[in-house]
Structure 1
Amino acid sequence: MNSMDSFDSSDLAMLTDRQATYLRTLSAPYAQDGVRFSLHNLAHTCRQSPEAQWPELVAAHFANLRGASRGDESAAALLHGTHARLLPVGAIGQELASSMTYARVVADGLVYAFALDGPTSVRILTDRDVELAGVEELGRAAHANLMRIPVKHEEVSLGGRARLHSLHGDSPFIASKALFLAEVALQVTGESLPGAGALVIVPNRHLLAFHPITDGSVVDALNGLAEYALRAYEDGPGELSPRVYWWHEGSLTSLTVIDEETRTFSLQPPPRLLGLMKGLVRLDRAGRIATAAATGTPDSDTLTAATAQALRGLAQEPSGLADAFASAVALAHVRCADDTKASGIAVWEAWETALRVGSTLFTGSERPQDCYLGEDLVLPLPAMAAEPPADARAWLDALYLAIVCRQWERTERLCRVPLSRLREDDSADEYVLHWIDTLQTYFSREHSIDDVVPKLLATIKTSMPEAVTRAPSDYVNRIDYHPVALFHRLVTADHEAFASALHDALADHGGYWGEPGPARSRVALGPLAMASLAHGNGFPFPLEQPHLPLYLLNGDRIEHIA
């Protein structure tokens, strides 16, 4: 065999023809008869260096190969130097696979194996090595050794929309840490991964990047990671996978589909993740959860201008009513930042406007209405036919507003919105829809409390962690579920338990949002609605509490709404 034939030309595709010939020429003196060498990683290293340095790089590369492990280590040496390792499926040929029956595929394109980290090279272990050291002992040692590998950690912003955690370093084992992502994330960020898991990429052996799935920025993160993965995979060296994976409950699922014939890539999240993403985006757009890229709370002037602009556009584009409602709700919350008791007319006008827009969104209006935004800014809300959107959470906002403002006729009309229409909202968890059913039944004159109880129990059952697939568990537990718990105490007339549950709800509200928080942090809207009902039914509890505007809660600021 000619020494130039000892190298696979397909390994040099990243070089020009001239560069590939030059590298083969430099490597030829190191070739051994009958042995084929891969120059793939060496080519990546050379491509990133001036050609004047190539002879030195080639000499060092083959010196390392000569000093590589020959497979004669003791069991103690194997346990000392073995690491868990991710390998691309294509790196394991048929001959190698037959001697690595212990290895397993952990995701599309990825194999989990053991690798011995030597002074000058890394050797993939065979079944003989594993038998010598013991598979269980080797597994524990491989994990411990891998977790000791140091990494450089950076947070990377994707255009201010989403943030990634990037782990990189000189070690060829960095990407393999994705096998134990929950542990790694806690090490580098100090925070556990959320119940929804994380998006993760391992484009080459020196790089791991992930995005915890906590909010609506997951969509931007998915697209950003897909571009990042492909670019880093092509740049090398040590290509691992160009795919984006979903880490969830300890396993990796590929979200990237590769058409082998056309070599094109597409992203196809599984149904469970797709539903979760839809729910998070809906929550985000309504301002109910804070994105990682959020930089602060919009001020009253900004939200006033945004609400006014949305209202002005309704005559030409009625479909903008949903956006106008979201903006009006945010404005109502923010106006309570400076007037926490809601004693001034500016606060009431914002709440009245949000109420009018919300009820019109779901039940229509037969005549135009005036929306007061302060400082003599009065804008018309056009008459509109009832075309309720499939937005379960917006409906809850509209109902909560009607309850707080003691608008019982509007409350009854909202409760006549067909539940079947709200069930078309595929971003809402089942417990949200059961909660709506519970409230619609409670405010209906055609039903008794005996009809309410089974629906309330269904709400409670479907809000358990194992049944929630859309909203983040922390959001469900600390924000979304509290109105349900308060309602439970309300219908059972347990005054003491209601007061205790209200205290817990407000503590969780403040703890979840932190300070300063987004618009939703100013008022605990759901608990405020339930507390308003309880106050009207003579429940004794402290009225002056955080996140409950006093004069909305006790009704002193409530004015007549035509």
Structure 2
Amino acid sequence: MVSNIPRHPFPTGNAEEGLAVLQSSAQKLIDGLEARSTRLGDALGTTLMLAKAHCLMDPRAAIFPTWDAWVNAMQVGSAVFAAATTTEARVECRIAHKDRILQATGSQWYVHPNTWLTAFYLAVVCRERDRITALSQVPLSLLRENGSRFDEFQFAWIDTLQTYWLGGPDLGQKLVAAVDGTDPETVTDPETVGKLMYPAMEMFHRIVRKDHAGFNRALVAALQWHKEYWTAEDRAATIPGLVALAPLAMACIAHDAGIPIEVESEYLPAVLIKRNWCGEFPT
């Protein structure tokens, strides 16, 4: 039996105008990256917002402009870390249908765990194996360099995902460390951690155990927590809540591992899960 988690109500009156504004902003940022590569953080935020905004009117991600927006966000996310980790003065990255020569950036304000997770999830959704591998080789030490404080469980979660992708040792121990680190008594923002970050770990746990029923229960719970978080009065009309990125990425991993996805929701663009667009266009 398929469960359905409807998306919370969201105003659509100015959707087309809003998309046009976001598209213009995203393109301007992308076109300026060769001259100012340290704008990659801003570019990622804007392109991801544009990708999610497309899903307001195209919740299945069934049309090309939506897929194109997701690919652009994925390419920018991966470029953040290509520019941060390169040992050369410049690095070539494909972004928005062009090969662009970016300056090496090293550590920047936006090179931190949340950005890495966003880039990883986007690469997973777009099934970009080479980019996922490159992200899995980003040293955790780089993510600590910008001086911002992040909860330790985030580094453990990244370590878990990198280990999983690269086939490294001690996967179970690393996952346990990440989960244990989400204790509400110890984290900086218990609501965000509990409703948006921990659920992906539980889904991943079920994937590793090949627990099909448990995975789908965890996916339902993740979407319910996502919905509860984004229906708070100060968040309900904001674009980031339109798509549940971390659960979407876990659903993509599960789908590719042969786990039937028995949950439908506007928070989870079905065409992205089923990888219908993958391989249709150069990325």
Paired letter, 1:498: F
| Pairwise CA distance, 1:366 | 4.0
More strand by share: 1
After superposition, the Cα gap between the structure-2 partners of 1:370 and 1:429, relative to the gap in structure 1 and judged at 3 Å, is closer
Instruction: Choose from 47, 53, 75 the match for 1:356.
Output: 75
> Does the CA-based 8 Å contact 2:82-2:91 persist in structure 1?
no
Paired letter, 1:367: E
- The alignment status of 1:301 with 2:23, answered yes or no, reads no
1:395 aligned partner? 116
- The alignment status of 1:502 with 2:219, answered yes or no, reads yes
Instruction: Choose from 510, 517, 520 the match for 2:237.
Output: 517
Residues 37-87 of structure 1: per-residue CA shift (max 9 Å, x gap): xxxxxxxxxxxxxxxxxxxxxxxxxxxxxxxxxxxxxxxxxxxxxxxxxxx
The share of aligned pairs that are identical, in percent, is 35
1:314 aligned partner? 33
> Does the CA-based 8 Å contact 1:363-1:386 persist in structure 2?
no
| Pairwise CA distance, 1:560 | 4.3
> Does the CA-based 8 Å contact 2:212-2:259 persist in structure 1?
yes
User: Distance in 2 between the 1:418 and 1:464 partners?
Assistant: 25
| Pairwise CA distance, 1:399 | 0.3
2:202 aligned partner? 485
User: Distance in 1 between the 2:180 and 2:201 partners?
Assistant: 11
Paired letter, 2:239: A
Alignment of 1:325-344 (within 5 A): 325-344=44-63
User: Distance in 1 between the 2:24 and 2:61 partners?
Assistant: 21
User: Distance in 2 between the 1:333 and 1:513 partners?
Assistant: 14
> Does the CA-based 8 Å contact 2:74-2:122 persist in structure 1?
yes
User: Distance in 1 between the 2:18 and 2:214 partners?
Assistant: 36
> Does the CA-based 8 Å contact 1:369-1:383 persist in structure 2?
no
Q: Secondary structure of the equivalent of 2:265?
A: coil
1:553 aligned partner? 273
- The alignment status of 1:536 with 2:252, answered yes or no, reads no
1:367 aligned partner? 92
1:323 aligned partner? 42
User: Distance in 2 between the 1:477 and 1:337 partners?
Assistant: 25
Alignment of 1:143-542 (within 5 A): 299-364=18-83, 366-367=91-92, 369-371=94-96, 381-385=100-104, 387=106, 389=108, 390-425=111-146, 426-445=148-167, 447-448=168-169, 451-469=170-188, 472-514=189-231, 516-542=236-262
> Does the CA-based 8 Å contact 1:543-1:550 persist in structure 2?
no
> Does the CA-based 8 Å contact 1:307-1:327 persist in structure 2?
yes
Paired letter, 2:129: W
User: Distance in 2 between the 1:302 and 1:508 partners?
Assistant: 30
Unaligned runs of 5+ in 1: 1-295, 373-378
Q: Secondary structure of the equivalent of 2:166?
A: coil
User: Distance in 1 between the 2:239 and 2:149 partners?
Assistant: 22
User: Distance in 1 between the 2:149 and 2:239 partners?
Assistant: 22
> Does the CA-based 8 Å contact 2:126-2:272 persist in structure 1?
yes
User: Distance in 2 between the 1:330 and 1:382 partners?
Assistant: 24
Higher Cα Rg: structure 1 or 2? 1
> Does the CA-based 8 Å contact 2:30-2:95 persist in structure 1?
no
Paired letter, 1:439: L
Q: Secondary structure of the equivalent of 1:301?
A: helix
Residues 372-405 of structure 1: per-residue CA shift (max 9 Å, x gap): 5xxxxxx764344473543110110000000010
User: Distance in 2 between the 1:346 and 1:560 partners?
Assistant: 12
User: Distance in 1 between the 2:59 and 2:133 partners?
Assistant: 29
| Pairwise CA distance, 1:369 | 2.6
More helix by share: 2
Unaligned runs of 5+ in 2: 1-13, 84-89
After superposition, the Cα gap between the structure-2 partners of 1:388 and 1:536, relative to the gap in structure 1 and judged at 3 Å, is farther
Paired letter, 1:465: P
Aligned length, in residue pairs: 256
After superposition, the Cα gap between the structure-2 partners of 1:439 and 1:388, relative to the gap in structure 1 and judged at 3 Å, is farther
User: Distance in 2 between the 1:520 and 1:382 partners?
Assistant: 29
Q: Secondary structure of the equivalent of 1:463?
A: coil
Q: CA RMSD in A?
A: 2.2
User: Distance in 1 between the 2:135 and 2:192 partners?
Assistant: 25
| Pairwise CA distance, 1:473 | 1.4
| Pairwise CA distance, 1:494 | 1.1
> Does the CA-based 8 Å contact 2:48-2:73 persist in structure 1?
yes
Report 1 or 2 for greater relative contact order, CA contacts < 8 Å, sequence distance ≥ 6. Answer: 2
Paired letter, 1:492: R
User: Distance in 2 between the 1:442 and 1:335 partners?
Assistant: 31
